[in-house]
Amino acid sequence: MSFAPTGPIDRVANGMPVRRQVLGDEYVDAATAPETEAQHALQEMVTGFAWGTVWTREDKLSLRDRSLMNLAMLSALNRPHELGIHIRGALNNGLSPEEIEEALLHTGPYCGLPAAIDGMRTARPILDAWKEQNR
């Protein structure tokens, strides 16, 4: 298969609706209100590359599956801030609190017990708040 672009693609415009769907308007509005040119460029890269190039490939993996993968990868990388954001996104994409905990538990033997412990520690208040709101 050869690469043949069909014309200009605005990956930021393609990625923004998916980013908002997964992470919510409040988070995205705050994240995309940068104060400096460098912050603006970073948000453009995040939205265009991660969201507009990868997350939009729903015909390959569902948003739910991508969320599940993110939980494991962010836990393994010890990125608690991003993990917390994506735990909320995973809930938005249909994962249950029990499935999220199971994914984080699964990181233990493959990524190390500290990753699983920190992942669970990050998840607990988010999942508790979600359960309280969804009673």
Q: How far apart are the first and last CA of the chain?
A: 50
Q: Which domain holds residue 121?
A: 61-135
Distance CA 108, CA 116 (A): 5
Which pLDDT value is given to residue 4?
58
Distance CA 67, CA 55 (A): 10
Structure tokens at 133: 């709101």
Which pLDDT value is given to residue 1?
56
Which pLDDT value is given to residue 8?
64
95: Cα separation from own chain's centroid: 12
DSSP 57-86: -TTTS-HHHHHHHHHHHHHHTT-HHHHHHH
Residues 6+ apart with CB under 8 A from 89: 22, 23, 67, 70
Which pLDDT value is given to residue 7?
59
Q: Does 33 fall in a domain?
A: yes
28 within 8 A of 47, measured Cβ to Cβ = no
Q: Does 3 fall in a domain?
A: no
Split the chain (135 residues) into runs of 10 and give each run's mean pLDDT: 64 95 96 91 94 92 96 95 97 98 96 96 98 93
Per the structure, the count of domains in the chain is 2
Count of beta carbons in the 10 Å neighbourhood of residue 91? 20
51: Cα separation from own chain's centroid: 9
- Judgement on whether residues 66 and 40 belong to the same structural domain of the protein: no
- Judgement on whether residues 126 and 97 belong to the same structural domain of the protein: yes
